[in-house]
Structure formats: C-alpha cells, structure tokens
Amino acid sequence: MKKLFVLSALFFISTSILAQSPLRKGTYTVGGNISFSNYSEDGNSGSTSFFILAPNLGYFFVNNFYTGLSLQYTHYSASSGDFSNSSYGLGPAIRYYFSKNNLKPFLGINYTYSKTTESNSDDENSQSDFTVSSGINFFVTNYFALEGKISYSFLSRNSSSTGYSNTVKSKLLNIGIGANYFIN
C-alpha cells in the first residue's frame, strides 16, 4: 500500500511538471520557417518570386512573451529571368502566445536588415523589412511544435551603383510553415 501511494505521488508530480507550459519564463527556443512568395511592384509589369529560410533563437523573459533574434536567407528571381539575387539578414523579433491546450496561436512583429548580392552586377543593395505576423503552433510533444503563419511585410530596398541611387518600397504577403523546439 505504501509503495502504491509513493508511485501515485511520483506519477502526479511528474505529470504536473511535464504539463507545464513550454511558453513560460526562462524557456529558450530554437526554430525556423520556410516559405515561398511572389510579389509585384506598382508600375512594374513583372513579378518576383521569393524563397525564404529563416532560423531563429529566442527566450521567454515573461510567460507567453517571446523575444528573439531572426536570421534570414532569401533567394529571389524575376519572372522575366533577367536576374536572381540572394540576401542575408538579421533582426529582432517578438511574439505573444495565447495558451490554448496543444494549439498556441500567436501575434508577432519583427524587423530585419539585409544585404543583397546580385548575380549579374556589382551593385550594393540593402533592405529593411518590418513584418507583422499571426500564426499557430501545434505542439506535437510537450516541447516540439509545428508552426503555420501568415505575415505581411513592409519592405524598403535601397540600391546604389556608381553615381546612381534608388529606393523602392513594397509590401509582401507571405504564408509559411516551420518548427520550434522549446528548451527549459
């Protein structure tokens, strides 16, 4: 009888520890998203396709509130086939998660500054992105989640070459999938 009581107590203690939310203060997260987008600019008849890979690292300073650092690799090419570019970026990100069992919806914002290398020129390009996102994490285990998200970005791309400078502002709607691992 005493063994049964001890085993029952250990079971309830261990399940309450495991049942704690991974979105609590002191949790680290490693994850990322992958997405594909297509956009066009005002006054331009062509379109541009984007492939984006965005790993991230984060920390919960407060329950349900994530702050992190997002890296970003983007490859894009024009529908006309005249160019393809790659850019590498870095920036801060924040998210607020709403706890709902295994489904955890979130709202987030992030800023990314990136530099671009072009395949067919020596131009220097930089880009600033301000992004608002919403999505949901589906927890497959207590600490591993699959993610779906939709985001809307405000982009400002600066191009310069010898004696010439240009700034293009555009917007981008993006749908992506990803995964996150939460470490306590």
DSSP 35-83: EEEEE--TT-S--EEEEEEEEEEEEEEETTEEEEEEEEEEEEEETTSS-
Range of the domain at 105: 2-183
- Give the rounded percent of residues in the chain with a pLDDT score beyond 90: 46
Cα 136 from Cα 150, distance rounded (Å): 9
Q: Does 171 have pLDDT greater than 80?
A: yes
Q: What is the per-residue pLDDT for 15?
A: 40
Question: The domain that contains 120 carries what CATH number?
Answer: 2.40.160.20
Task: Give start and end residues of each alpha helix (H) in 40-181.
Answer: none
Rounded to two decimals, the pTM is 0.75
pLDDT digits (tens, 9 = 90+) for 15-74: 444 445 789 999 999 999 888 877 777 777 777 787 889 999 999 999 999 999 999 998
The total number of structural domains in the chain stands at 1
Q: Which two tokens stand for residue 40?
A: 């066009």
Q: Which two tokens stand for residue 73?
A: 């690799």
Task: Give the pLDDT mean for 140-150.
Answer: 94
